[in-house]
Amino acid sequence: MPVGKSEGGFNLFDAEERVLAEANALRDSLDHAAPEAILKGVDTLTEAYRRSVREQRRLVKVSDRLQNQLASVNQELARRKAEAEEALARLREAQETLVQAEKLASLGALVGGVAHEINTPVGIALSCASHLADATAHLRTLFEADDIGVEDFERYMDTASDTTQLILGNCERAAALIRSFKQVAVDRTSAERRRFDLAAYMGETLASLSPRVRQAGHKVTITCPPGLEVDGYPGALSQVLTNFVMNSIVHGYDQGQSGELSITVDEPVPGQIRLVYADDGKGIADAHKNRIFDPFFTTKRGAGGTGLGLHIVYNLATGPLEGSLAVDSVAGHGTRFILTFPRKAAGGILPED
């Protein structure tokens, strides 16, 4: 579009051009005998007005150019914004996928730990059953040969009594481990809300982690008032405790170093649970304290660390558990995590104390 022309073809400077034409006509109509000062004044005013009109035209041209540039910039910004929003959506999707993968990985570790734990009592029960079967076969051989004596029968009865007790005891132990794993696994995957005994449930969760804890040489103690019932999301709590323990094992101690892990629970005010998890390991460097809950922050990059463990913990603490999480750590003097959450989640059914 020509400078000074509107979209409809209207000249923005029609009035100015008319004024200039009238000024020129006025100058031409003046008699040359008119005073020189008047002629000079008219010429000066006309030239000043002409310069003003030229400057206005220049400004309009600059304005048109800037508007075109601004339109291009706005289009580019809109395109970049769309690309950024799309990238953010993909990043959030990828982050959610990684978080779910991290949860499933911890569940996989739980499966491996429980399988290892179950293997011992099942193996003992199998050995005892095999020994009892051999003793029974030997007694049957003696019986069929009509060569069985009182001592043979008494020896068999002692063997049967001992082996059956071992079989029953180890089968009960395996069954308890399976029940514990089943409940913890269901809680992890379903995020179901229910009422549960806090001390018992923490014991089940720590039992599933015992192979890793023993392998690292650590000792775990739990201090919790008996009969403390919680109405909430046990799966979230199990995930939090698992990540606390694994964080200590991976980050809290050097290779081959063992330590003490502790979980202390109290109810500072009615209806409010305070869970303090502590280890006596290396602690957290001051430079890292403000970043430990950030996603993908880890000091073990390339050594198995994903940087999602404590990020998941923080989201669970402030999300399903409806609580808060704080950290207290001094480099070289261990780490304490203080988790505070309501004994009864919003809309819960526990009776008031």
290-305 pLDDT, tens per residue?
788 876 667 655 455 5
- Give the tens place of pLDDT for each residue, 192-209: 788 999 999 898 888 778
> Do 350 and 214 lie in a common domain?
yes
Domain residue limits at 210: 193-353
Q: Is residue 106 part of a domain?
A: no
Average of per-residue pLDDT values in the chain? 80
Q: How far apart are CA 128 and CA 162, in angstroms?
A: 9
Q: How far apart are CA 312 and CA 293, in angstroms?
A: 8
CB atoms within 10 A of CB 277: 22
Tell me the CATH number at 223. 3.30.565.10
Asked if residue 339 lies in contact with residue 277, where contact means CB atoms within 8 angstroms, the answer is yes
Q: Is residue 244 part of a domain?
A: yes
Q: Is residue 88 part of a domain?
A: no
Q: Which of 81, 109, 135 marks a domain boundary? A: 81
> Do 65 and 197 lie in a common domain?
no
Q: Which of 81, 116, 136 marks a domain boundary? A: 81
Q: Is residue 26 part of a domain?
A: yes
Q: Is residue 124 part of a domain?
A: no
Q: Is residue 164 part of a domain?
A: no
Q: What pLDDT shows up at residue 353? A: 46
Q: Which whole-number Å values give the CA distances from 44 to 24, 35, 51, 103, in the listed order?
A: 12, 14, 11, 85
> Do 203 and 336 lie in a common domain?
yes
| Angle in degrees, 0-180, between the axes of helices 198-216 and 36-144, rounded to the nearest 10 | 90
More confident residue, 174 or 248: 248
Asked if residue 274 lies in contact with residue 268, where contact means CB atoms within 8 angstroms, the answer is yes
Asked if residue 17 lies in contact with residue 11, where contact means CB atoms within 8 angstroms, the answer is yes
More confident residue, 340 or 319: 340
Q: Is residue 61 part of a domain?
A: yes
> Do 199 and 345 lie in a common domain?
yes
DSSP 351: P
| pTM for the model | 0.55
Which of 297, 316, 304 has its CA nearest to residue 238? 316
Which range, of 57-66, 94-103, 117-126, averages the lowest pLDDT?
A: 94-103
Give every strand in the sheet of 324-329, ordered side by side.
Answer: 219-223, 260-269, 272-279, 335-342, 324-329
Q: Which of 60, 81, 102 marks a domain boundary? A: 81
Asked if residue 187 lies in contact with residue 235, where contact means CB atoms within 8 angstroms, the answer is yes
- Give the tens place of pLDDT for each residue, 229-264: 999 988 889 888 988 998 888 888 888 888 999 999
Q: Is residue 249 part of a domain?
A: yes
> Do 76 and 202 lie in a common domain?
no
Number of domains within the chain: 2
> Do 59 and 198 lie in a common domain?
no
Q: Which two tokens stand for residue 248?
A: 């200590």
> Do 68 and 209 lie in a common domain?
no
Q: How far apart are CA 118 and CA 180, in angstroms?
A: 11
> Do 77 and 224 lie in a common domain?
no
